[in-house]
A and B are shown apart, each in its own frame.
Chain A
């Protein structure tokens, strides 16, 4: 775990990754590395808690697109919750919401995932 990833937990076979700070190339790679490791262990459902990530850039978000692509190969899912409005807007502009899901809270995400 690095400074960007502050917690990883598993609930009902869903891996929940909590981030902290700027989602740039370094942050994106940190998420990708964890998801790759967990996929090798058989996990296919992932949620990212972005409560402490108020700012992103397109390089970091592009890495999430790469993750979505890899998850599609195993019928997996990626979702997010606690997004700042500008992060949600960025995800919408880049089209991530066509291939992954934004939830209002962890509870709702776990119920619907």
Chain B
């Protein structure tokens, strides 16, 4: 059987990321994932969507693909924005943010890395694809 894929197209409007979390919840139930796994996936999707909405300067839509595999759920968040240089993304530390002029934001990628089993970024001037994977513990 062909690998099932659920595709979403989200306009860049505040809180549209919650539509993606609702879809993730349905897919998580279908895949018998735990509540914790579902929550982690939802949080990672929110952060990936916010990055796509805010930082990509994308003017079109953000696309989300949920690829349902036997041993994992793969989620791709795709924007057609200006891309980013991942070598310039610093690991955020709260110690560097409290009591300093450093901006308090910039946690999205770190959260995604912590919450998912693997994360890959492909980015160029035509856009960014974040590919996140959650393994299923059978």
A: residues with CB less than 8 A from B are 22, 24, 55-59, 61-63, 65-66, 68-69, 72, 84-86, 89-90, 93-96, 98-99
Q: Told that A61-B107, A90-B43, A94-B107 touch, could you supply 5 new A-B pairs with CB distance under 8 A?
A: A69-B98, A86-B43, A89-B40, A93-B111, A96-B94
Q: Mark B56-86, 1 if CB is under 8 A from A, else 0.
A: 0000000000000000000000000000000
The answer to whether residues A55 and B50 also contact, given A86-B43, A93-B110 and a CB cut-off of 8 A, is no
Cβ of A60 to closest chain B Cβ, rounded Å:
10
Given contacts A94-B94, A96-B94, contact A58 B107 (CB under 8 A): yes
A-B contact pairs, 27 of them (CB 8 A): A22-B15, A24-B14, A55-B18, A55-B42, A57-B17, A57-B46, A57-B47, A58-B50, A58-B105, A58-B107, A61-B107, A62-B104, A63-B104, A65-B98, A69-B98, A69-B99, A84-B39, A86-B42, A90-B43, A93-B107, A93-B114, A94-B92, A94-B111, A95-B95, A98-B94, A98-B95, A99-B94
* A65 in contact with B46 (CB, 8 Å): no
What's the least CB distance linking A12 to chain B, in Å?
Answer: 27
* Beta-carbon contact of A65 and B111 below 8 Å: no
Please state if A85 and B107 are interface contacts (CB–CB under 8 Å).
no
Which residues of chain B from 10 to 69 have any CB-CB distance to chain A below 8 Å in the complex? 14-15, 17-18, 21, 36, 39-40, 42-43, 46-47, 50
